[in-house]
Structure 1
Amino acid sequence: MAVIYDLPTWVIVLGVLVLSFAANELGFRFGSRKGLDETERSRAVSNGLKASILGLVALLLGFSYSSTSSRYYQRQRMALDEANAIGTCYLRAGLLSLPESTSIRLHLKRYTQLRLDYFVNGLQREVMMEDENAMAEELTALWAQVEAAADHQPDKVRLSQIVPAANSVIDLNSMRAWSVRNPLPVSILILLAICLVVSGGIMGHSSGQVGKRFLGLWFCLNILVTLVLFVVLDFDRPRRGLIQVDHTPLVELEASMHDEPR
């Protein structure tokens, strides 16, 4: 089931759109056969049930949009928080004595470069995993230098500044990794697709009851609901679609870091 997440967004949306048009036609044919035998009372009940189903579909779309958009803005905020945490740790490293000060700054610079490479290589899974492992190694080395500073730094007040700063960088990296591994569940995506196709069938059924294909209305509704689905998926896939997380804070931070001697 996870292979669905690897599909391009436009393939999923186009598939749902085609199925919705097919559901329109199937619903129309079924409604045209049954519509002649319906009474006004049965048709009123039928329309009420259809309105309830369409309302449920709209509710599910609304919740999905709200969930994925909030996670997208959370990723945006996380990129800024990462840049702030790395910058703070970089500056506070200057309070320590050599060689730990230089080593910590060097590991932070390498980590920032790897973090940007990780975003650029987001669609290449093997390269992305290599970048993630390299980031973990840099953070491990960073903390080892903090521990070394704890043994050699005479001023414990200065040391107390670098420890929480380094810990914040490590924690934010863990939060970022967790958010990447937890996209929109495939079961919810399938549920949304089924709901959109069912809504297309309901539209066709209503048209069949009056014996006329409302092609323009079918087209408009199918396009609108699939566009909403596209935006939901686009929010949830920050490296695949049009809506991508802005990493400008990290880019600016990396550019501001001075080269340290090895």
Structure 2
Amino acid sequence: MARSGFWRMLRILDAIPVWLLALMVMGLLFLCLETGYRLSHRKPGLGDVSALQASVLGLVALLLAFSFSMAEARYSLRRALVVKEANAIGTLYLRIGFLPEPSRGEMRAWLRRYTDLRLEGHEALGNPALFATKLQESESLQDELWARLEALAPRVETPVLILVTQAMNDVFDVSDERVAAAHNLIPTSIFILLLVGMLGSGVLLGYRPEARLRGLLSWSLFVVILTAVMFTLLDLDLPTRGRIRVDQGPLRSLQEQLRIRP
């Protein structure tokens, strides 16, 4: 249920173009700046709000730094898991060589296909339906590999069986770890708090009783920079959106190596 809910949320987000989301946020920020400006001329009795402005901006900066730290840690984990999965599959491929024929050749062929599915699935992470299909196919191959190993168990020496079983378990475990890492995002409450802080800072920055004209240049710089930072954070945290994607190079290199191996 949790997994289906996650992908359902991503489908809703994917239905909205990034540029449209950015324009919506920019529009809200300009609206908050305008609201603060009008309040400052209708009710100018709040006095000097510079200290409050500095406090709110400091809080927003702290939230941004904290969020970037969380997003970077999750991104680094997803990147490390690609290397871990490539190593696990490569180890299993080598250890299958201890098994007798024809099971050895069949299981290695399945493992090559499994590598293709893993690579295709994670490269298509922006398409939740395709990713789910590739994930289901790879899980079916996991069942076939395990069933074949179970059938071979009585005819294989115990040390060899332990080596192959351990390597196969590692492949299955890292597969689940990668799915869990894709679901492990910054909590929504932090993004909501960050958005509230951004909008609140917009109202406070627009509150300028002494100003006769709107500071359109400073407003534009504030809105553009804050929106760019916000969406860079989202780009880093969400594995399905934007241009910051985890490089699948280790799996791609493994795929090429397995194609030329017997």
TM-score normalised to structure 1 length: 0.88
Distance 1:225 1:152 in 2: 64
Question: Is the contact between residue 26 and residue 201 of structure 1 (CA under 8 Å) also seen in structure 2?
Answer: yes
- Relative to structure 1, is the Cα distance of residues 145 and 260 closer, same or farther in structure 2, using a 3 angstrom cutoff? farther
**Can you list the C-alpha shifts for 1:62-81, whole angstroms capped at 9, x where unaligned?**
11111112111111111111
The partner residue of 1:152 within 126, 150, 155 is 155
Q: How does 1:55-204 map to 2 (within 5 A)?
A: 55-154=58-157, 156-204=158-206
My pick for the range that moved more, 242-251 or 51-60, is: 51-60
- The Cα of 1:55 is off from its aligned counterpart by 1.3
Question: Is the contact between residue 57 and residue 201 of structure 2 (CA under 8 Å) also seen in structure 1?
Answer: yes
My pick for the range that moved more, 143-152 or 208-217, is: 208-217
Partner of 2:255: 254
Is 1:9 the counterpart of 2:10? The answer is no
Question: Is the contact between residue 27 and residue 208 of structure 1 (CA under 8 Å) also seen in structure 2?
Answer: no
Question: Is the contact between residue 29 and residue 202 of structure 2 (CA under 8 Å) also seen in structure 1?
Answer: yes
Read off the aligned partner of 1:5 and give its amino acid letter.
L
- The Cα of 1:22 is off from its aligned counterpart by 1.3
- The Cα of 1:192 is off from its aligned counterpart by 2.3
Read off the aligned partner of 1:237 and give its amino acid letter.
L
- The Cα of 1:252 is off from its aligned counterpart by 0.9
- Relative to structure 1, is the Cα distance of residues 95 and 89 closer, same or farther in structure 2, using a 3 angstrom cutoff? same
Read off the aligned partner of 2:178 and give its amino acid letter.
R
Partner of 2:243: 242
**Can you list the C-alpha shifts for 1:138-173, whole angstroms capped at 9, x where unaligned?**
11112222223322113x222222111111110000
- Relative to structure 1, is the Cα distance of residues 19 and 64 closer, same or farther in structure 2, using a 3 angstrom cutoff? same
Distance 2:132 2:160 in 1: 35
Partner of 1:220: 221
Distance 1:59 1:234 in 2: 19
Report percent identity of matched pairs: 36
Question: Is the contact between residue 121 and residue 127 of structure 1 (CA under 8 Å) also seen in structure 2?
Answer: yes
Question: Is the contact between residue 13 and residue 229 of structure 1 (CA under 8 Å) also seen in structure 2?
Answer: no
Question: Is the contact between residue 123 and residue 248 of structure 2 (CA under 8 Å) also seen in structure 1?
Answer: no
Distance 1:260 1:251 in 2: 15
Read off the aligned partner of 2:162 and give its amino acid letter.
S
Distance 2:63 2:213 in 1: 29
My pick for the range that moved more, 185-194 or 217-226, is: 185-194
My pick for the range that moved more, 22-31 or 182-191, is: 182-191
Question: Is the contact between residue 8 and residue 240 of structure 1 (CA under 8 Å) also seen in structure 2?
Answer: no
Could you say what the CA RMSD is over the residues aligned between the two structures, in angstroms? Answer: 2.2
Question: Is the contact between residue 77 and residue 181 of structure 2 (CA under 8 Å) also seen in structure 1?
Answer: no
My pick for the range that moved more, 229-238 or 181-190, is: 181-190
Distance 1:11 1:81 in 2: 37
Distance 1:251 1:210 in 2: 59
**Can you list the C-alpha shifts for 1:204-245, whole angstroms capped at 9, x where unaligned?**
01x344444222221112211111111111012233211111
Structure 2 portions without partners, runs of 5+: 1-7
SS of 1:257 mapped into structure 2: helix
Distance 1:159 1:87 in 2: 17
Counting matched residue pairs gives: 253
Partner of 1:30: 39
Question: Is the contact between residue 182 and residue 239 of structure 2 (CA under 8 Å) also seen in structure 1?
Answer: no
My pick for the range that moved more, 130-139 or 118-127, is: 118-127
Distance 2:189 2:22 in 1: 16
Distance 1:9 1:174 in 2: 29
